[in-house]
Amino acid sequence: MQTVPSCPEHNNDKSRDDMYVLTQICMNAASGENLAKAIFMRSVVGTLKRSPAFRAALNEDAEWMKGGARRYKVDLGRFDSFFDGLCHAIFFERYGKRFDPRTHVMHHIYLSFQSDAPEEQARIATARSMMSTFFQAFEDRIDYFEAAKIDEIVYANHIVDPVGERASITIAHSFYGCFEVVSLLTAKIPPVFVGRHSV
């Protein structure tokens, strides 16, 4: 379990986004009788029944596809909020300090999303290829974490930070072994200059 100190108000504000992201990930990863579907049935269905507003928001602009599958619109702002929080927790646990937006820029790439836009398809394909090459190149420097393994791994991540928190950090997240996100924490100042010069 990844945790980071947070005030109750901030934590409560995030709960709706957390449920939204959980729902979307489970719908994306559910297949047959796997764990993602079991968690969807146990943790999400009740919320959908109790909250018509949440159900309506989730179904907004949803489309039926050939073969009976359904495509759902994704609110990237809510996903970014969720993965920002997750990366803040990972950063705090790993380095013992809070993430500082003055030293790093955070960006998330959602490899499991699909888009009709050719440029977005190309961007995701390029990112997937680059990340595969990157993680192979740094294979000996990767730290691996997995959590909540119940027959299947619910969540796992791979972290590459060759020189620690002062430089750029790459975190590859995986949910249920198939929903993949890459978080890039890009250093604003090269580490060689940190703490050595003043203006």
Q: Is 90 or 196 the better-scoring residue by pLDDT?
A: 90
Give the pLDDT of residue 77: 94
Residues 55/48, Cβ–Cβ less than 8 Å: yes
Give the pLDDT of residue 123: 82
- As a 3-state breakdown, the chain gives helix, strand, coil percent values, each rounded to 5, of 50, 25, 30
What single-letter amino acid sits at 13? D
Residue 1 to residue 147: CA distance in whole angstroms: 6
What single-letter amino acid sits at 102? R
- Residue 71 predicted with pLDDT over 90: no
Enter the pTM of the model.
Answer: 0.79
Tell me the average pLDDT across 85-104: 96
CA 5 to chain centre: 19
Q: Is 77 or 12 the better-scoring residue by pLDDT?
A: 77
Residues 19/47, Cβ–Cβ less than 8 Å: yes
